[in-house]
Structure 1
Amino acid sequence: MTPPFDVAVVGLGPAGRSLASRCVAHGLSVLALDPRPDAVWAPTYGIWGDELGGLPEAVVRARVPGPELRVHGNYPLARDYLVLDNAALRTALPLEGVQVRRARLSDADVAALRAEARVVVDARGARPDGLVPDDPAPAQTAYGIVVPADAAAPALQDASALLMDWRTDWAGAAGPGGTPTFLYAIPVGPDAVLLEETCLAAAPGLPIAELRTRLRRRLLARGVEASVLDRPLDREVVRIPMRGRGRRPVPGTLAIGTAGRGGNLVTGYSVAHSLARADALAQAFTTGAVPRVADPVSPADPLREMGLRALLRLDVPGTLALFDAFGRLPAPAQRNFMSRDSDAVGLAGAMWGMFARMPPAGKRKLIVATLGPSVTRRGAPAIRPV
């Protein structure tokens, strides 16, 4: 018996909605399921200007030319950084013609959809059942506040935006130790700035309470008023499992976005890749050439695993040496390091360029972090890729 739908997409975050929208645009019959299909996405999504693709400029909430990286030196990055307007992005990914069903599905429910659709796509995200208590998986965590632009000026210190500020004024008088973090300070509108303390990767993820304390300490040290910190315009909490769901997809389904292997193991970014991948997957479904996996293993993946391993184990001086070297890379090499879609040659060249630009002590730390025993710096067993 022929299923009534060509495609069933479970989960309507950016990955699922973009795929459902492109599938119906290619003439496929689509069923989409989500517990809150009308909800506007809460996280702040950022992409690079050259990753906007065919999306209209209306989806851009803020465009920042040359955001800065600050470590031992100051390094303007030669790309526009975009903060997306989530409501406008949803509008640019229309679901007219898609049958939308309000539902929260278990793995068994997702598998059962094979009776309703020729292709079943799991886009429920990395943790579809909610947070995992004491989750040991490598994670990016962040805590941020949105404040008026004039109140944020002392934190920015004359920069238009700080993509990563690795300086250690979060540490206070005791000096930096433990897990390194950076300040992400980005305009999110004409008169608002997101100030966010971010742990790029730790296993387990650095607690939100620690990030909140570090952010407050850093911002007070830079002269931001305590009253601004106590009464921000908004707050944001980020938890991104770096390996996505970290287990095999539900049998008979395709896992996309952070439900599968759509995230960048080094940066945690996944949205730009999901948006770019949607049309190619939709075309494959149209021709009947359904891939076995949405994001197959590539020769670049072992290099990204090495990068994640290093991030999990480098101490504060080693991490600062690594990203100071990143700031001195040529712009094409910086793109190759940060992109989910760079090939092995480009990524290897970028990683070697960073290593070559590190001081001798930093090189030694990086070698030990990358090639040493399989234990993170916090003593938790290293989690192997699926």
Structure 2
Amino acid sequence: MSPSAVTGLFVPPTVFPSRHVPRPSSLRRSQHAATPFRRIRASLSAASFDANSVSSAPSTFPTVTRPPASAPAPAPATPIPARALYDVAVIGAGPAGLSLSAALCHHGLNVVNLDATIEAPWPNHYGVWRDEFQAVGLDDCATAIYPATAVYAGPEKITLDRQYLRVDRVKLKSLLLRRCVEGGVRLCRAVVRDVLHTSDSESEVRFGPAGPASHAEIMENSFCDFEDVLDEGMLRAKLVVDCTGHALRFTATEPEKKFRPPWAQAAYGIEAEVESHPYQADQMLLMDFRDDHMQGNEKWRKESEARPTFLYVFPSGERRAFFEETSVIAPKAVPFEELKERLFRRLEHDGVKVKRILEEEKSLIPMGGSLPNRAQRVVGFGGAACLVHPATGYMVARTVSMAGTVAETIANGLKDNSDGFKAMAVSNAVWKVTWSLELRRQRDFLDFGAELLGVLDMDESRRFFDAFFALPQSMWSKFLCFKLDTPVERIYFALYFFVIATGPIRWSLLRGIFEIGRWRLIRSVLPLWLSAADEN
């Protein structure tokens, strides 16, 4: 299911996961006894918008980084000796990397975080259900809170009585950075080259300079201190966590015989000032499958029927909004140029005249496919652990809520030296928490929903979502939020959905069980002790 792929974690276009950890053929070693750094103070605030830098014509798409808000500055970090043995090295400063780093230092661990763009605002727009961010105490990190959410599976609007939140990217990153700084996390702007396991208890993280600071021209009020790497260097850590996203730079996938490539969802969006728009300002538009704008000729109509896409909108008053055209999950993503054309054709059809484009976004999300190999020393978290919901693309809320549990598991493992410290034992414990048998079986069930959606045409997709949002909210919300925890809940969900679905969707479900779901679907609804036999 893909109604909210763009509402979870957005990622820039990236290469799908490779099966091997990259190993550079050569690496220039530093001649210095200590890694050379310089202290930098950076900002996540945007400079004033230059109207002359943006075209008002929809044929041009300049990208202007313009975070929606700023946040107060935290205290500066305390420097740590460069050759120190860190408890944990976290690679990546996205929502996963920073939330985990902050949680780790809460347990008193010595943590270093390395990221090539640590000084820059996150480029993508995030949206979450408000109750999920309330559960982790982050619902104040919002640029907008919508009392209700709207869906158009067909011509009639479906209003969902569940609040939706547009994440304040700047405030959330600043909050997590502040927690890291106050907890003593060492923040470094650096490109990680390689990870080498030098013994059972230590690893080497090799890194180099990140190049010119991105967004340097818009930095103003400092938010934190970080260290800018000026030369090639190395640090030692007991445990390494890969938070670099879906590319799996330092984590390996499952063995080749078990490997399944992920499917994909693509989206093209713009933050724009408009003369007006027809979307209700106090409702977030989650999905709009209406495609009257694609009926102008036979070619467009066939494209829309074969490759369904929907509109996703964050209204910001009457003359500004974020508009995004999103493809339903498929084995091969709809090209960005096609999504761009569809978006502007739709806006024109709906009478939306774009005055200025403030930001442009291209998002590609690998969904489903194989999990990472859980028998490896490097721990994956966030996109690198494939935490993205395989049917919706949601990940931010799940990631930040899981950070505390993962951090506690790491802390307990590092402190347990009863049999001598073994990094592999800690990694195994974390992977068991991140992808327990219960979670893997739930993912099997959600995978079936995703792959079923991937073979439906436009008319079938509309029928599917009509039935899906006719379910009790407690049921569809659990599906969207990765909360169908037990086999009994999953069986009940499947039977309820089958009963209320139309005849064609019932037939698609039955056909999908044999052609798509097969054993993976069957084991997802078996008692756990019985489904475990498959892995033994």
Q: Distance in 2 between matches of 1:203 and 1:273?
A: 25
Q: Give the secondary structure class of the aligned counterpart of 1:273.
A: helix
- Pair 1:141–1:70, CA change in 2 (3 A): same
Instruction: Single out whichever of 272-281 and 31-40 deviates more from structure 2.
Output: 31-40
* Cα distance change on mapping 1:297 and 1:183 into 2, 3 Å: farther
Match of 1:161, as an amino acid? M
> What is the one-letter code of the residue matched to 2:402?
R
Question: Would the aligned equivalents of 2:145 and 2:165 in 1 still touch at CA under 8 Å?
Answer: yes
Residues 179-328 of structure 1 correspond to what in structure 2 (within 5 A)? 179-187=307-315, 192-225=320-353, 227-228=354-355, 231-243=356-368, 247-248=372-373, 251-288=376-413, 290=426, 291-293=429-431, 294-298=434-438, 299-328=441-470
| Partner SS state of residue 300, structure 1 | helix
Q: 1:15 to 1:245 in 2, by over 3 A?
A: farther
What CA distance in whole angstroms lies between the structure 2 residues aligned with 1:40 and 1:244? 30
Residue 105 of structure 1 is aligned with which of 173, 192, 195? 192
Matched position secondary structure for 2:108: coil
Quote the residue 1:121 is aligned against.
241
In structure 2, relative to structure 1, the CA distance for the partners of 1:332 and 1:373 (3 Å cut) is: closer
Letter in 1 for 2:268: Y
The reply on whether 1:66 has 2:152 as its aligned counterpart is no
What secondary structure, in the 3-state scheme, does the structure 1 residue paired with 2:311 have? Answer: strand
Equivalent-residue separation in structure 1 for 2:484 and 2:274 (angstroms): 35
User: Secondary structure in 2 aligned to 1:210?
Assistant: helix
The one-letter amino acid of 2:187's match is V
Alpha-carbon contact 2:273-2:321 (below 8 Å) kept: yes
- Measure how far apart 1:358 and its partner are: 1.7
Q: 1:334 to 1:373 in 2, by over 3 A?
A: closer
- Structure 2 residue identity aligned to 1:169: D
Letter of the 1:21 counterpart: A
Alpha-carbon spacing, 1:348–1:14, altered in 2? closer, same or farther (3 Å): farther
**Code of the aligned partner of 2:510:** I
Residues of 1 paired with 2:467 and 2:175: CA distance?
38
Q: Conserved in 1, the CA contact under 8 Å of 2:314 and 2:323? A: yes
Could you tell me whether the CA contact under 8 Å between 1:266 and 1:307 is conserved in 2? yes
Q: 1:167 to 1:159 in 2, by over 3 A?
A: farther
In angstroms, what is the RMSD of aligned CA positions?
2.7
Q: Report the 3-state secondary structure (helix = DSSP H, G, I; strand = E; otherwise coil) of the residue aligned with 2:361.
A: strand
| Distance across 1 between alignment mates of 2:238 and 2:497 | 46
In structure 1, the gaps of 5 or more residues are 130-135, 375-386
2:168 aligned to which of 85, 89, 102: 85
Does 2:180 match 1:55? no
What is the one-letter code of the residue matched to 1:200? V
Q: Is the 8 A contact 1:62 1:82 kept in 2?
A: yes
Q: Does 1:332 align with 2:452?
A: no
Residue 61 and residue 331 in structure 1: after superposition, are their counterparts in 2 closer, same or farther (change >3 A)?
Answer: same
Higher alpha-carbon deviation: 23-32 or 120-129: 120-129
Offset at 1:357?
1.9
Structure 1 Cα separation of the partners of residues 471 and 175 of structure 2: 35
Q: Percent identity?
A: 31
Instruction: Decide whether the 8 Å contact of 2:372 with 2:386 is kept in 1.
Output: no
Larger Rg: 2
On the 8 A contact 2:262/2:370 being kept in 1, the answer is no
Letter of the 1:331 partner, please give it: Q
1:352 counterpart residue number: 495
Question: CA separation of 1:28/1:217 partners in 2, compared to 1, >3 Å: closer, same or farther?
Answer: same
Unmatched runs of 5 consecutive residues or more in structure 2: 1-83, 205-235, 250-260, 417-425, 518-536
Q: Secondary structure at the match of 2:191?
A: coil
Q: Which residue number in structure 2 is paired with residue 12 of structure 1? A: 93
What letter corresponds to residue 179 of structure 1 in structure 2?
Answer: R
Letter of the 1:162 counterpart: L
Residue type matched to 1:141 in 2?
A
Alignment partner of 1:169 out of 292, 295, 315: 292
In 1, the alpha carbon distance for the partners of 2:203 and 2:153 equals: 51
Q: Deviations over 1:273-323 (max 9, x none)?
A: 110001111111222274241333432121112112102111111111110
Give the aligned residue type for 1:238: S
Under a length normalisation based on structure 1, what TM-score does the superposition of the two structures give? 0.85
Q: 1 CA distance for matches of 2:243 and 2:491?
A: 30
